[in-house]
Amino acid sequence: MTIAIVEFEPGHAEAFRTLNEAWISKHFAIEPKDREVLGDPQGKIIAPGGRVFMALLGGEPVGCVALMKMDDGGYEVAKMTVAETLRGSGLGRRLMQRCIDAGAEMGASRLYLETNSSLGPALGLYRAMGFRDLAPVETPYARADVFMERRY
């Protein structure tokens, strides 16, 4: 069965939240900013000019990623996760490629992300896809200790 990557629809909101909460709570604590964004993806991500992509397997959500519009003309890659049963399948790479393609379509100057130094596979994926490390910046996430961008 093939996995389709589609634009977010309101019916995906619960899956977007639960997929992310499962991943975050496995590795870290769910933070106030997580609750804010995951509780209202339409208002916090899409309405301000961002996008959310959902990965569907047989119509069931198995992964997701958000692009949050930034003031500098870039987009932050956020809330990317893949169902535990599909980790290592290449789905994360496909979701990131969709973000890279979408950023190009929207005329983004860059893609930006914040992550954690303990997430070796994720860091390897980001670097393989052209992301470069940046100096630390102020962030609402206590867990963020790696900052990266990919310029267009």
Measured N-to-C along each axis, helices 13-27 and 32-39 cross at an angle, to the nearest 10 degrees, of: 160
Q: Based on the structure, what is the number of domains in the chain?
A: 1
3-state secondary structure of 69: strand
Q: 55 pLDDT band (50/70/90 cuts)?
A: very high
Domain that holds residue 61: 3-151
Global confidence as pTM: 0.97
Residue 66 near residue 55, CB atoms below 8 Å: no
Summarised one tens digit per residue, pLDDT across range 80-93 is 999 999 999 999 99
Residue 1: pLDDT over 70:
no
Q: What is the DSSP letter of 85?
A: G
CATH code for the domain of 93: 3.40.630.30
Residue 126's pLDDT is what?
Answer: 98
Residue 46 near residue 13, CB atoms below 8 Å: no
Nearest in space to 75 (alpha carbons), one of 145, 149, 130: 149
Mean pLDDT value across residues 100-123? 97
Summarised one tens digit per residue, pLDDT across range 4-49 is 999 999 999 999 999 999 999 999 999 999 999 999 999 999 999 9
Residue 54's pLDDT is what?
Answer: 98
